[in-house]
Amino acid sequence: MKDTTGICLIGAGRAGMIHGRNFASRVPHARMAAVSDVSEECAKAAARELGVDAVYTDYREALKDSAVDAVIVVTPTKFHRDIVLEAAHAGKHILCEKPMAMNREECRDMIDAAERGGVKLQIGFMRRFDAGFRRAKEMIDSGAIGEVVSVKSLTRGPSVPQEWMYDIRKSNGPLAEVNSHDIDTLRWFTGSEAASLYAMAGNYRCVSAREKYPDFYDTVLMNVRMKNGMMGNIDGAQGVRYGYDARVDILGTEGCVQIGSLAGNTTLVFTKDRRMQADVVKSWTDLFYEAYVNEDISFVETIRSGGEPLVRGIDGMRAVEIVRAGNESIETGKIIELSGD
């Protein structure tokens, strides 16, 4: 076994650089070996920051680099399948950011390719590596709140979507881009698959999208019944402006667990004019900083130990199935049944 695992970052944007910085300095037994981005300027800037000499504008060339043992795929979702298939064929281990792919068929292709190539495939649901989420899972598994009855998970982000996200056929919409984490949280905490769901949505903030993309939504609510009888509720929104808001409420037969707060810290200020002030979480990069580090550490540990990733390809595929069913429910106004086979 090599002393270190050589990492190639494919996609050097904001999310990609979170991983890149982690592997450059905070992940034991890992080293940044290469950077690939379709923008040469972006790739070179990332390489300079990360201390990497190997720069590629074509990821296929990076996959030929013998110094690369694993790739981190942080590109738009529509490119994930092809990159993962070629990486697996080249014998490179893979950490693929969420959403895993555009549909179930693409996800299955990726899972099968990783199995054929004998490589690890981990999906980027980093909330499973967050200390608060892990503590909640421990409490659920210990029976501290009895049997789980319902899981309510919300993610509301301040950013206005990029234009390519307005096209639901290219992005799968906010259910994919924003709420994939909530969907995975629901599956993880209930220990079950979705049986049926109903979703409704609307565009309340993205005025510029209404004419060209009439089916785009920036706000969504989805109710889910799980196969084991537990219930789920997912609340998502983009462009909320007030801050980054991610919270979970797990109700059990004998108690409840709550995760997260909009408050950026626990300090509250009360003034003589009877007002209360508190800092608000600004970005997901602030709230889940350590979760990303833990996720990346786990990826390398899985490669070195030969074990199974904590978040597998099947987890990514199930989330994509629920996203697609949610979008179908929004479009048709109907309850959608899921097979989960």
- pLDDT tens, residue by residue, 180-200: 999 999 999 999 999 999 999
Mapped to the 3 state alphabet, what secondary structure does the chain carry? Answer: CCCCEEEEEECCCHHHHHHHHHHHHCCCCEEEEEEECCCHHHHHHHHHHHCCCEEECCHHHHCCCCCCCEEEECCCHHHHHHHHHHHHHCCCEEEEECCCCCCHHHHHHHHHHHHHHCCCEEEECHHHHCHHHHHHHHHHHHCCCCCEEEEEEEEECCCCCCHHHHCHHHHCHHHHHCCHHHHHHHHHHHCCCEEEEEEEEECCCCHHHCCCCCCCCCEEEEEEEECCCCEEEEEEECCCCCCCEEEEEEEECCCEEEECCCECCCCCEECCCCCEECCECCCHHHHCHHHHHHHHHHHHHHHHHCCCCCCCHHHHHHHHHHHHHHHHHHHHCCCEECCCC
Query: Region 202-214: what's the mean pLDDT?
Result: 95
pLDDT-above-90 percentage for the chain: 85
For residues 27 and 252, give the distance between their C-alpha atoms in angstroms, rounded to a whole number: 36
Q: Cis omega before residue 161 (within 30°)? A: no
What does the block give as tokens for 71? Answer: 């790739």
Confidence band, pLDDT 50/70/90 cuts, at residue 242: confident
Instruction: State yes or no: pLDDT of 280 exceeds 80.
Output: no
Confidence band, pLDDT 50/70/90 cuts, at residue 285: low
pLDDT of residue 288: 86
* Torsion, Cα of 303, 304, 307, 309 (10° steps): -40
For residues 281 and 296, give the distance between their C-alpha atoms in angstroms, rounded to a whole number: 23
End-to-end CA separation in angstroms for the chain: 37
Q: Which domains does the chain have, with CATH numbers?
A: 5-126+291-311 (3.40.50.720), 128-288+318-337 (3.30.360.10)
Nearest Cα to 250, choosing from 235, 266, 230, 265? 230
Residue that is written with structure tokens 């509250």 in the block: 268
Instruction: State yes or no: pLDDT of 304 exceeds 90.
Output: yes
pLDDT of residue 339: 82
Instruction: State yes or no: pLDDT of 268 exceeds 70.
Output: no
* Torsion, Cα of 119, 189, 232, 328 (10° steps): 0
Nearest Cα to 236, choosing from 287, 181, 188, 277? 181
Confidence band, pLDDT 50/70/90 cuts, at residue 264: low
Instruction: State yes or no: pLDDT of 149 exceeds 90.
Output: yes
* Tens-place pLDDT, residues 79-136: 999 999 999 999 999 999 999 999 999 999 999 999 999 999 999 999 999 999 999 9
Which residues share a beta bridge with 154?
A: 235, 247
Chain mean pLDDT for the chain? 93
